[in-house]
């Protein structure tokens, strides 16, 4: 009887401590529930083609999914980046709120237009509060790179920091841009990073910052990371200044395990890491919020110069599709397609031009589908 | 270009610095003597003192020397944590309005890194941008940092970048920005760069997003020539490029100020653990001194010293510990002096 009382008191204390120290973070966030399947076991996912190579790559994703009989239907929403009105992107956001999950290409931002026309991608991320951008960079055996054995997970705060889009010109010729760092968002992203590290069995989390110069802003971020780290004694926590980080990444990238950082440094570090493992065509990225998830390529390029020429690398977008299937709990389909992609990359070694090969996009996709057919249980005709 | 002083020699203010600073400064002085470069050194100390009115400032004799000589060479300075005074580098920057930080990154033959044939220059705006130091706590738990971009500073750095490109036979200048997100601030920077580019039609001008530059830099750094950018991006990119060629121990750096002032420096730390043990690598300070000679128009001496330094490294016989050998600093220096004398 006494034991039960002790356990009860202990549980209450633990819960209270967590509630107090985590402020707005609730237990709901520990498990991001994917939306329930609708209409006879088939999921509906919003698809935003975007600009540049987005439309063609997403067509290939649809092709591969249809071929493998994946129970996902795509609701396509077009966003015209040339228009000044925000109706298109608002429609896309509503569709994502309805479906819960999206797969998107990058929407171009024409910066010759007035500054009031904000980046559509950024608008999407902030409206849906997709606070965590997760990218997993792994060296692939079939791709020639200068550095080997890289395995870094990058978790980047996705909604605030330098991307707050708050700017004003108080005096003519003097522009101020605000970088906002809040305690809530910093705690939230740090907690996400540590939880993910624990889930994936990672041993070390590194916070990337510039707190020696931005003492209050990045200082707050670092302090929040330290607070969260104290709740995860099994995971080592250290910090590194961003310029030293980039220097270390190009000389010894194998030293990094999991990295967490605010928005802009995340942009730099994720692009450096993508370049280290073979380029923008290989790495998928995911944006997670409390209620929604949006999947895309990690480096978010429009690829205008290679659009329409059948030379883009479909790997990143297809792997993003697999991440989406994992999120929808369609694990078998995800592994089947992912294995086919990796076999084509590492064994068949059919590469597109960006990683030094001569294959076209369609050839690579065909090879992936052939691979699925030889291993998978049920497919449509090739 | 400064006028020649007495006896045809030019006087340069030398700030040895802390830690390994004095030994690498004396190594550089020895090498310059062997090359018979027409430089007279004036040593000064820049430890901050409290001036009238309670504001921290550099000692008046150091300021007077720099104002007179216009050119300086600086070793690493330490910023003690609880000294009360701000970072020395920041103080120097404010005192002499050093608005441009120039870092040429050239692959050193003989010091192998995964990247070969790197030959680019990063020019970073050094006075404003994200490092304006203006921060506020709005409410408990919300902090705002202000990034300041002004028309004058952007124009000044763009002009310097194009002038540098022209004077050093560089073919293209790339502006690095994030104007898709920071529309007004980086947009202003970009507009000024475009305006200045109009006056330099012989140099190709391109613009690239920061993330695209990072992505391409680690895949193929040979595609870049001169890069000009605001403060934060410059900080990150210049260190990224230093990492490509082998780190801060072999990277030169120069700070250009208003009124013709220029201070060239080594950007590595003071390395207190090897100070006084004759183990330091003077390459970074030496290459910065070579940059200084080129800035002063003494290209022959600069090329001679640089060739001797690169030959010594390529030979791999007398390398210091950080370059992979186990010779002393004095041996390394002596080898370079010997090569210079052989070249004559």
**Chain B positions in Cβ-Cβ contact with residue A20 (cut-off 8 Å):** none
**Maximum C-alpha span of chain B:** 67
pLDDT(A20) > 70: no
Helix, coil or strand: residue B105:
strand
Contact B328, B278 (CB under 8 A): yes
- pLDDT over 70, % of chain B: 96
- pLDDT, one tens digit per residue, over A130-179 is 999 999 999 999 999 999 999 999 999 999 988 888 899 989 999 999 99
- pLDDT, one tens digit per residue, over B24-45 is 999 999 999 999 999 999 999 8
**Chain B positions in Cβ-Cβ contact with residue A182 (cut-off 8 Å):** 141-143
| Interval A18-27 mean pLDDT | 46
Placement of tokens 């310097």 in the chain:
B160
How many CB atoms are closer than 10 A to CB A123? 18
**Chain B positions in Cβ-Cβ contact with residue A147 (cut-off 8 Å):** 114
DSSP tally for chain B: helices H, then strands E: 10, 14
Instruction: Share the mean pLDDT of chain A.
Output: 89
* DSSP 8-state assignment for residue B127: S
* pTM for the whole structure: 0.89
| Contacts with A3 (C-beta within 8 Å, 6 or more apart), sequence order | none
Q: Which residue of A has its CA nearest to B210?
A: A268
| Contacts with A328 (C-beta within 8 Å, 6 or more apart), sequence order | A34, A37, A43, A45, A72, A101
**Chain A positions in Cβ-Cβ contact with residue B184 (cut-off 8 Å):** 115, 167-169, 175, 177
Give the separation between CA A202 and CA A225, rounded to whole angstroms: 16
**Chain A positions in Cβ-Cβ contact with residue B239 (cut-off 8 Å):** 243-244, 246-247
Residues of B numbered 193-252 whose beta carbons fall under 8 angstroms of chain A's beta carbons: which are they?
Answer: 210-212, 214-219, 232, 235-240, 242-244, 247-248
Q: Which residue of B has its CA nearest to A174?
A: B150
Mutation site, B127, B207, B212, B219, interface A, largest A CB count within 10 A? B219
Q: Which two tokens stand for residue A162?
A: 């330098």
Give the separation between CA A336 and CA B343, rounded to whole angstroms: 66
Give the separation between CA A12 and CA B68, rounded to whole angstroms: 72
Candidates A122, A176, A271; nearest CB to B146: A176
Give the model's pLDDT for residue B80: 65
Chain A closest CA to B89's CA: distance in Å? 12
pLDDT(B7) > 90: no
B270-273's contacts with Cβ under 8 Å and 24+ in sequence apart are: B270/B17, B270/B18, B270/B19, B270/B20, B270/B21, B270/B76, B270/B77, B270/B78, B271/B19, B271/B20, B271/B76, B272/B18, B272/B19, B272/B78
Contact B144 A251 (CB under 8 A): no
- pLDDT, one tens digit per residue, over A273-327 is 999 999 999 999 999 999 999 999 999 989 999 999 999 999 999 999 999 999 9
Helix, coil or strand: residue A116:
coil
Give the model's pLDDT for residue A140: 93
Q: How does residue A90 score in pLDDT terms, banded at 50, 70 and 90?
A: very high
Give the separation between CA B295 and CA B71, rounded to whole angstroms: 9
Chain B closest CA to A369's CA: distance in Å? 30
**Chain B positions in Cβ-Cβ contact with residue A215 (cut-off 8 Å):** 135
Contact B232 A210 (CB under 8 A): yes
Chain A closest CA to B91's CA: distance in Å? 14
Residues of B numbered 138-177 whose beta carbons fall under 8 angstroms of chain A's beta carbons: which are they?
Answer: 140-152
Give the separation between CA B222 and CA B210, rounded to whole angstroms: 17
Mutation site, B103, B118, B127, B185, interface A, largest A CB count within 10 A? B185
Contact B34, B95 (CB under 8 A): no
> What is the residue-wise DSSP string for B38-95?
SEEEEE-----EE-TTS-EE--HHHHHHHHHH-EEEE------TTSSS--HHHHHHHH
Cα–Cα distances in Å, from A185 out to A161, A192, A263, B261?
10, 10, 11, 44
Give the model's pLDDT for residue A26: 42
**B286 interfaces chain A, CB cutoff of 8 Å:** no
Give the separation between CA A96 and CA A275, rounded to whole angstroms: 30
Give the separation between CA B306 and CA B315, rounded to whole angstroms: 14
**Chain B positions in Cβ-Cβ contact with residue A250 (cut-off 8 Å):** 114-115, 218, 240, 243-244
- pLDDT, one tens digit per residue, over A266-288 is 999 999 999 999 999 999 999 99
| Contacts with A172 (C-beta within 8 Å, 6 or more apart), sequence order | none
Q: How does residue B78 score in pLDDT terms, banded at 50, 70 and 90?
A: confident
Give the separation between CA A51 and CA A108, rounded to whole angstroms: 6
Contact B122, B94 (CB under 8 A): no
Give the model's pLDDT for residue B84: 60
Chain B closest CA to A344's CA: distance in Å? 22
Chain A closest CA to B342's CA: distance in Å? 35
| Contacts with B239 (C-beta within 8 Å, 6 or more apart), sequence order | A243, A244, A246, A247, B248
Cα–Cα distances in Å, from B240 out to B32, B234, B236?
30, 10, 6
Chain B closest CA to A373's CA: distance in Å? 35
| Interval B163-186 mean pLDDT | 92
Contact A182 B143 (CB under 8 A): yes
Chain B closest CA to A202's CA: distance in Å? 26
Chain B closest CA to A106's CA: distance in Å? 12
Give the model's pLDDT for residue B91: 81
Strands A101-104 and A293-297: parallel
Contact A175 B184 (CB under 8 A): yes
How many CB atoms are closer than 10 A to CB A215? 15
Mutation site, B89, B115, B126, B135, interface A, largest A CB count within 10 A? B135
**Chain A positions in Cβ-Cβ contact with residue B215 (cut-off 8 Å):** 271-272, 274-275, 279-280, 299, 301
E strands in chain B:
10-15, 39-43, 49-50, 56-57, 71-74, 98-106, 119-125, 129-139, 142-150, 172-177, 204-209, 226-229, 252-257, 262-266
pLDDT(A89) > 60: yes
Give the model's pLDDT for residue B58: 85
Cα–Cα distances in Å, from B323 out to B288, B329, B344?
18, 11, 27
| Interval A197-211 mean pLDDT | 95
**Chain A positions in Cβ-Cβ contact with residue B178 (cut-off 8 Å):** 162, 264, 267
Chain A closest CA to B35's CA: distance in Å? 33
Chain A closest CA to B239's CA: distance in Å? 6
Candidates A169, A175, A243; nearest CB to B236: A243
Instruction: Share the mean pLDDT of chain B.
Output: 90
Better-predicted residue by pLDDT, B260 or A62: A62
**Chain A positions in Cβ-Cβ contact with residue B240 (cut-off 8 Å):** 243, 246-247, 249-250, 272
**Chain A positions in Cβ-Cβ contact with residue B323 (cut-off 8 Å):** none
Candidates A119, A168, A182; nearest CB to B180: A119
pLDDT(B103) > 80: yes
pLDDT(A244) > 80: yes
Placement of tokens 């404003």 in the chain:
B128
ipTM (interface pTM): 0.89
**Chain A positions in Cβ-Cβ contact with residue B130 (cut-off 8 Å):** 162, 179, 213-214
């Amino acid at each position: 009887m006494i034991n039960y009382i002790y356990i009860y008191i202990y549980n209450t204390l633990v819960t209270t401590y967590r509630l107090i120290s985590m402020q707005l973070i609730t237990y709901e966030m520990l498990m991001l529930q994917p939306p329930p399947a609708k209409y006879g076991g088939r999921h509906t996912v919003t698809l935003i083609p975007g600009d540049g190579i987005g439309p063609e790559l997403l067509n290939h994703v649809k092709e591969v999914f249809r071929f493998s009989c994946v129970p996902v239907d795509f609701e396509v929403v077009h966003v015209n980046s040339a228009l000044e009105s925000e109706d298109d992107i608002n429609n896309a956001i509503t569709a994502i709120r309805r479906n819960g999950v999206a797969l998107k290409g990058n929407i171009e931002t024409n910066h010759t237009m007035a500054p009031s026309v904000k980046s559509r991608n950024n608008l999407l991320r902030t409206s849906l509060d997709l606070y965590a951008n997760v990218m997993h960079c792994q060296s692939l055996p079939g791709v020639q790179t200068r550095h080997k054995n890289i395995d870094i997970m990058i978790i980047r705060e996705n909604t605030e920091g330098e991307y707050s889009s708050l700017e004003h010109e108080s005096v003519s010729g003097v522009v101020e841009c605000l970088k906002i760092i809040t305690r809530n968002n910093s705690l939230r992203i740090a907690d996400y990073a540590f939880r993910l590290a624990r889930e994936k069995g990672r041993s070390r989390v590194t916070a990337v910052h510039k707190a020696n110069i931005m003492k209050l802003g990045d200082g707050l971020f670092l302090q929040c990371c330290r607070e969260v780290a104290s709740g995860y004694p099994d995971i080592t926590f250290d910090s590194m200044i961003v310029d030293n980080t980039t220097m270390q990444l190009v000389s010894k990238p194998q030293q990094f395990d999991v990295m967490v950082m605010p928005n802009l440094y995340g942009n730099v570090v994720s692009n450096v890491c993508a370049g280290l493992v073979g380029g923008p065509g290989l790495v998928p990225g995911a944006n997670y919020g409390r209620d929604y998830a949006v999947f895309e390529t990690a480096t978010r390029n429009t690829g205008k110069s290679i659009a329409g020429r059948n030379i883009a690398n479909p790997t990143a977008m297809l792997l993003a599709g697999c991440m989406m299937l994992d999120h929808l709990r369609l694990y078998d389909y995800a592994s089947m397609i992912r294995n086919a992609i990796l076999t084509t990359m590492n064994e068949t070694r059919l590469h597109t031009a960006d990683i030094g090969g001569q294959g076209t996009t369609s050839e690579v996709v065909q090879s992936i589908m052939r691979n699925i057919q030889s291993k998978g249980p049920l497919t449509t005709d090739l | 270009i400064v006028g020649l002083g007495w006896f045809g020699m030019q006087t340069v203010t030398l700030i040895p610095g802390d830690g390994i600073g004095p030994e690498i400064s004396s190594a550089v002085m020895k090498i310059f003597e062997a090359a018979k470069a027409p430089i007279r050194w004036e040593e000064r100390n820049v430890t901050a003192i409290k001036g009238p009115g309670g504001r921290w400032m550099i000692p008046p004799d150091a300021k007077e020397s720099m104002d007179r000589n216009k050119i300086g060479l600086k070793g690493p300075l330490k910023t003690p944590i609880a000294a009360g005074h701000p970072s020395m580098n920041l103080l120097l920057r404010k005192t002499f309005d050093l608005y441009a930080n120039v870092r040429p990154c050239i692959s050193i033959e003989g010091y192998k890194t995964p990247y070969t044939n790197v030959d680019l220059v990063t020019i970073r705006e050094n006075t404003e941008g994200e490092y304006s130091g203006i921060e506020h706590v709005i409410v408990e738990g919300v902090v705002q940092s202000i990034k300041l971009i002004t028309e004058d500073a952007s124009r000044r750095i763009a002009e310097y970048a194009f002038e540098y490109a022209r004077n050093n036979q560089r073919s293209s200048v790339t502006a690095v920005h994030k104007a898709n997100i920071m529309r007004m601030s980086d947009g202003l920077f970009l507009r000024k760069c475009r305006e200045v580019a109009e006056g330099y039609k012989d140099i190709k001008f391109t613009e690239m997003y920061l993330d695209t530059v990072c992505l391409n830099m680690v895949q193929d750094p040979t595609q870049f020539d001169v890069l000009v950018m605001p403060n934060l991006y410059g900080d990150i990119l210049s260190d990224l490029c230093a990492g490509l060629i082998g780190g801060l121990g072999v990277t030169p750096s120069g700070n250009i100020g208003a009124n013709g002032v220029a201070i060239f420096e080594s950007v590595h730390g003071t390395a207190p653990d090897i100070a006084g043990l004759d183990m330091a690598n003077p390459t970074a300070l030496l290459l910065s001194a070579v940059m200084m000679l080129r800035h002063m128009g003494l290209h022959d001496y600069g090329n001679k010293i640089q060739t001797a330094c690169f030959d010594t490294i390529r030979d791999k016989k007398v390398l210091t510990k950080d370059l992979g050998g186990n010779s002393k600093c004095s041996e390394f220096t002596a080898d370079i002096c010997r090569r210079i004398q052989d070249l004559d």
